[in-house]
């Protein structure tokens, strides 16, 4: 890769355990800026622990997570989080505009209300994901892809350079998947680093610049053609997938 | 008129009930919004029941240690301690054992309620608490001290909620994001629980243990049916709280009934009315939406009928082949003209280019299904009706699968070409 990229997330020897069971073991990875990174691995591989560690929620048993050179616990808000669609209460009384505005909450002191600049930033973020026309809608009235885009807007309004997305492609149809990918790519081109938890191996090669393959340990980090190799995948997925050959061909193409 | 509406207002007890009830209802409604959205309604119930132990404890301690009879602040503090202890016990039990939270709540609040009841009856010579008053409340006997307590509680809780509105909103809506920008989510939760306890404690003397949870959640739920923003929901909940108290108190005077009961009855009726007529989330609105819905099946049947007929199709022919009420067909035809699938002329209906494409799609699905059913040995006389039912499962994936499985047939079992 080119040399002018700086390291934005630096994970070293990260080890996290829950009651003597390791969720992550000696994970070290340096993520450079301006990239679309996919985090892949089977269920229970520690992907969500990895997210929590990057957000600074878990205290590692060993190792460090540095965000822009600061420890993750101190770098609050420098990683913008986009939740999984299933984790959101879509009946919550809140409009699209208000969700986007939440991205600004960290910067608004508790004793004042949001200012014009905050509303403007929220609106700009909505424009960036092409959701400005839906600003007054309640979030439950949107389609799956639109809902995902609203939360992307919130992350963009937060102004963080690092975006962390939890399974953004889960449960959306192919056309919506493309629309979301389009937003991700535009964010990348505007200088963001996106770390995306992803479960679909068949699209991983096509969508991401680099992949992180984890299952407790880190098995590989690199371009899809390096990561999606048969030996690695069959080791991590223990032969549970039969379509490796297809995926690997795509990775090489 | 005068006797019904103005006369009660002249009575001091009515004025006090009106003021005290309204104060409590406003703050209960506003906090209740968060309780409803966080799905902790049952917790409100638990807190109110736990209070009796706290009241008894507070009474006893104040009397034995300081010789003060029915010391209100002591009892208030006692109930607050009991409420917080209940919450701590609930989360402790559900965390360390396999018992889930709803069961833990049920165990703990009945247990602590029972402790309170037993304590009150054992120490009945020291404690002069009327259990019935406690359980049913006495809104018409509101004392000045009760008014002050509820006014202070309301001022404190409302100030907190207004100042930290965004914090409560974000921590309720998306705790993960809230934590990721450094909000103390756990602390916010504790503060909210304390607020709920305070409100419950200040409301029990008016509506009683059993009904207080209703005052907390019913106005909030009513508002929930009418608003898509949290701040508006809170305003409306406060309003519905006050109307419940006002309406309930008049009801109680007119019917000469129990005050707390009348308030909650009015509150519940108010909810049911809103549930019926709410413009967006009400039953009436839902029923209207359902009625305006044209079933896809009818549309598809009309399309294929016109396609099979091959020329301008009169209404009578459509009636004959499409199973639906006459009104249903008329509505479907209108909708299809709007959507540009068909055109209408004096002689009947014709397909547009789009309509023909759609019709061919359905026809293709129908014939592929027939061919498929034939290969799996469905008797011939059942082929058509079964396929007619299945053709509405006509998404691309299904049809492609059938086509592939059958080896790209040209004709269906009846010898008709597959488009």
- The range of the structural domain enclosing residue A36 comes to 1-76+163-175+193-247
Q: Please list the residues that pair with A217 across neighbouring strands.
A: A215
Please report the DSSP string for A161-208 in residue order. Answer: SEEEEE-TTTT--HHHHHHHHHHHHHHHHTT-EEEEE---HHHHHHH-
- Give chain A's domain count: 2
Contacts of B228 in chain A (CB under 8 A): 93-95, 138
Residue A97 within any structural domain of the chain:
yes
β-strand pairing of A162-166 with A79-82? parallel
- Whether residues A101 and A211 fall in one domain: no
Q: Residue B341: what are its φ and ψ, rounded to 5°?
A: -90, -30
CATH number for domain B9-287, candidates 3.40.50.2000, 1.10.3470.10, 3.40.190.10, 2.40.160.210: 1.10.3470.10
Contact check, Cβ <8 Å, A79/B180: yes
How large a percentage of chain A has pLDDT more than 70? 92
β-strand pairing of A7-18 with A62-67? antiparallel
Using the Cβ of B233 and the Cβ atoms of chain A, whether some distance falls under 8 Å is answered with: yes
Q: What is the CATH number of the domain that holds A226?
A: 3.40.50.300
Contacts of A76 in chain B (CB under 8 A): 180-182
ipTM: 0.88
Residues in chain B with pLDDT values less than 70: 70, 325-326, 394
Contacts of B37 in chain A (CB under 8 A): 89, 92-93
Residue A87 within any structural domain of the chain:
yes
Contact check, Cβ <8 Å, B181/A158: yes
A2 pLDDT exceeds 50? no
Residue A146 within any structural domain of the chain:
yes
A191 pLDDT exceeds 80? yes
pLDDT at A253: 47
For tokens 């607050």, the residue is B80
What residues 120-139 of chain A have any CB closer than 8 A to a CB of chain B? 138
Using the Cβ of B84 and the Cβ atoms of chain A, whether some distance falls under 8 Å is answered with: no
B229 to chain A nearest CA, in Å?
A: 4
- Whether residues A2 and A58 fall in one domain: yes
Residue A185 within any structural domain of the chain:
no
- Range with the poorest average pLDDT among A65-74, A201-210, B31-40, B136-145: B136-145
Spatial distance between the Cα atoms of A10 and A32, rounded to a whole number of angstroms: 9
A135 to chain B nearest CA, in Å?
A: 12
Contacts of B170 in chain A (CB under 8 A): 102, 105
pLDDT at A250: 54
A226 to chain B nearest CA, in Å?
A: 32
Residue-averaged pLDDT of chain B: 86
What are the extents of the domains in chain B?
A: 9-287, 296-405
For tokens 């299945």, the residue is B390
Residue A186 within any structural domain of the chain:
no
Q: Are A212 and A14 in contact (CB under 8 A)?
A: no
Q: Dump pLDDT digits (tens) for A83-142.
A: 988 889 999 999 999 999 999 999 999 889 999 999 999 999 999 888 999 999 999 999
Contact check, Cβ <8 Å, A83/B177: yes
- Element (H or E) spanning A28, and its range? strand A21-32
Size of interface A-B (CB pairs under 8 A): 62
B145 to chain A nearest CA, in Å?
A: 32
pLDDT at A100: 96
B416 to chain A nearest CA, in Å?
A: 33
A252 pLDDT exceeds 60? no
- Element (H or E) spanning A218, and its range? strand A217-222
How large a percentage of chain A has pLDDT more than 90? 44
Strands (E), B260-309: none
- Whether residues A55 and A171 fall in one domain: yes
pLDDT at B415: 76
Radius of gyration in angstroms for the set of CA atoms belonging to chain B, rounded to a whole number: 32
Contact check, Cβ <8 Å, A110/B227: no
Using the Cβ of B170 and the Cβ atoms of chain A, whether some distance falls under 8 Å is answered with: yes
Spatial distance between the Cα atoms of B106 and A64, rounded to a whole number of angstroms: 43
Residue-averaged pLDDT of chain A: 87
- The stretch A4-30 carries a mean pLDDT of 87
Contact check, Cβ <8 Å, B230/A95: no
Nearest to A106 among B181, B228, B232 (CB): B181
- The stretch A141-156 carries a mean pLDDT of 91
CATH number for domain B296-405, candidates 3.40.50.620, 1.10.10.10, 3.30.300.210, 3.30.9.10: 1.10.10.10
Contact check, Cβ <8 Å, A93/B179: no
Residue A10 within any structural domain of the chain:
yes
Residue of A nearest to B234 (CA): A93
- Whether residues A122 and A150 fall in one domain: yes
Question: What is each CA distance from A41 to A36, A82, A236, in whole angstroms?
Answer: 17, 19, 7
- Whether residues A47 and A171 fall in one domain: yes
* Region class of B137: left (phi > 0), else alpha (psi between -120 and 50), else beta: left
pLDDT at B145: 82
Using the Cβ of A90 and the Cβ atoms of chain B, whether some distance falls under 8 Å is answered with: no
- Whether residues A58 and A169 fall in one domain: yes
Contact check, Cβ <8 Å, A81/B176: yes
Q: Which pair of tokens denotes residue B175?
A: 């705790």
Q: Dump pLDDT digits (tens) for B298-351.
A: 888 888 888 888 788 888 888 888 777 667 788 888 888 888 888 888 888 888
- Whether residues A50 and A170 fall in one domain: yes
- Whether residues A3 and A68 fall in one domain: yes
Using the Cβ of B229 and the Cβ atoms of chain A, whether some distance falls under 8 Å is answered with: yes
Q: Which pair of tokens denotes residue A143?
A: 């389609």
Q: Dump pLDDT digits (tens) for B258-308.
A: 888 899 999 999 999 999 999 989 999 989 888 777 777 888 888 888 888
Using the Cβ of A49 and the Cβ atoms of chain B, whether some distance falls under 8 Å is answered with: no
Using the Cβ of B126 and the Cβ atoms of chain A, whether some distance falls under 8 Å is answered with: no
Residue A184 within any structural domain of the chain:
no
A240 pLDDT exceeds 70? no
Q: Which pair of tokens denotes residue B409?
A: 């047939």
Using the Cβ of A94 and the Cβ atoms of chain B, whether some distance falls under 8 Å is answered with: yes
């Amino acid at each position: 890769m080119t040399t002018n990229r700086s390291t934005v997330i630096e994970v070293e020897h990260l080890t996290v355990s829950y009651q003597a069971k390791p969720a992550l073991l000696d994970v070290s990875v340096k993520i450079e800026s301006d990239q679309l990174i996919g985090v892949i691995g089977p269920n229970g591989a520690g992907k969500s622990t990895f997210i929590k560690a990057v957000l600074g929620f878990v205290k590692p048993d060993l190792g460090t997570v540095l965000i822009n050179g600061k420890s993750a616990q101190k770098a609050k808000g420098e990683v913008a989080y986009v939740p999984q669609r299933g984790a959101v209460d879509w009946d919550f009384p809140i409009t699209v505009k208000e969700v986007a505005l939440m991205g600004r909450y960290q910067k608004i002191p508790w004793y004042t209300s949001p200012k014009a600049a905050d509303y403007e930033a929220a609106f700009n973020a909505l424009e960036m994901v092409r959701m400005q026309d839906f600003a007054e809608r309640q979030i439950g009235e949107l389609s799956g892809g639109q809902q995902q885009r609203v939360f992307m807007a919130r992350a963009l309004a937060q102004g963080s350079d690092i975006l962390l997305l939890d399974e953004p492609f889960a449960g959306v149809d192919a056309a919506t998947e493309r629309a979301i990918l389009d937003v991700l790519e535009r964010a990348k081109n505007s200088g963001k680093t996106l770390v995306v938890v992803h479960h679909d191996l068949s699209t991983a090669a096509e969508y991401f610049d680099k992949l992180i393959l984890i299952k407790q340990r880190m098995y590989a980090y690199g371009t899809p053609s390096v990561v999606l190799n048969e030996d690695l995948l069959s080791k991590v997925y223990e032969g549970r997938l039969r379509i490796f050959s297809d995926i690997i061909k795509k990775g090489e193409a | 008129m005068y006797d019904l509406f103005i006369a009660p207002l002249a009575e001091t007890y009515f004025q006090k009930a009106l003021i005290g009830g309204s104060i409590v209802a406003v703050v209960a409604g506003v906090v209740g919004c968060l309780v409803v959205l966080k799905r902790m309604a049952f917790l409100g119930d638990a807190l109110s029941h736990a209070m009796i132990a706290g009241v008894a404890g507070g009474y006893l301690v104040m009397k034995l240690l300081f010789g003060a009879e029915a010391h209100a602040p002591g009892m208030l503090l006692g109930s607050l301690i009991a409420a917080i202890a209940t919450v701590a016990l609930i989360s402790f039990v559900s965390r360390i054992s396999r018992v889930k939270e709803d069961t833990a709540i049920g165990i703990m609040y009945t247990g602590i309620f029972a402790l309170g009841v037993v304590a009150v009856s054992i120490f009945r010579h020291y404690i002069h608490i009327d259990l019935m008053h406690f359980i049913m409340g006495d809104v018409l006997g509101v004392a000045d001290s009760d008014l002050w307590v509820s006014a202070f509680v309301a001022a404190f809780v409302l100030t907190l909620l207004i100042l930290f509105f965004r914090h409560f909103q974000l921590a309720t809506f998306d705790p993960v994001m809230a934590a990721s920008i450094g909000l103390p989510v756990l602390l916010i939760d504790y503060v909210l629980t304390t607020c709920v306890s305070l409100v419950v404690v200040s409301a029990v003397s008016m509506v009683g243990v059993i009904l207080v949870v209703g005052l907390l959640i019913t106005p909030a739920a009513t508002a929930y049916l009418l608003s898509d923003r949290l701040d508006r929901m809170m305003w409306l909940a406060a309003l519905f709280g006050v109307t419940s108290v006002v309406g309930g108190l008049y009801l109680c005077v007119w019917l000469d009934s129990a005050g707390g009961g009348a308030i909650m009855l009015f509150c519940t009726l108010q909810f049911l009315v809103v549930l019926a007529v709410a413009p967006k989330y009400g039953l009436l609105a839902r029923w209207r939406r359902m009625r305006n819905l044209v079933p896809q099946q009818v549309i598809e049947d009309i399309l294929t009928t016109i396609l099979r007929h091959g020329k301008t199709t009169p209404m009578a022919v459509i009636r004959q082949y499409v199973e639906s009420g006459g009104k249903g067909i008329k509505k479907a035809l209108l909708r299809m003209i709007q959507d540009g699938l068909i055109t209408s002329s004096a002689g009947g209906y014709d397909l547009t280019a789009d309509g023909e494409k759609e019709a061919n799609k359905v026809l293709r699905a129908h014939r592929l299904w027939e061919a498929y059913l034939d290969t799996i040995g469905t008797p011939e006389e059942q082929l058509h009706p079964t396929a007619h039912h299945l053709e509405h499962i006509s998404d691309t994936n299904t049809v492609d699968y059938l086509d592939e499985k059958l080896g790209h047939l040209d004709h269906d079992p009846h010898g008709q070409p597959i488009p």
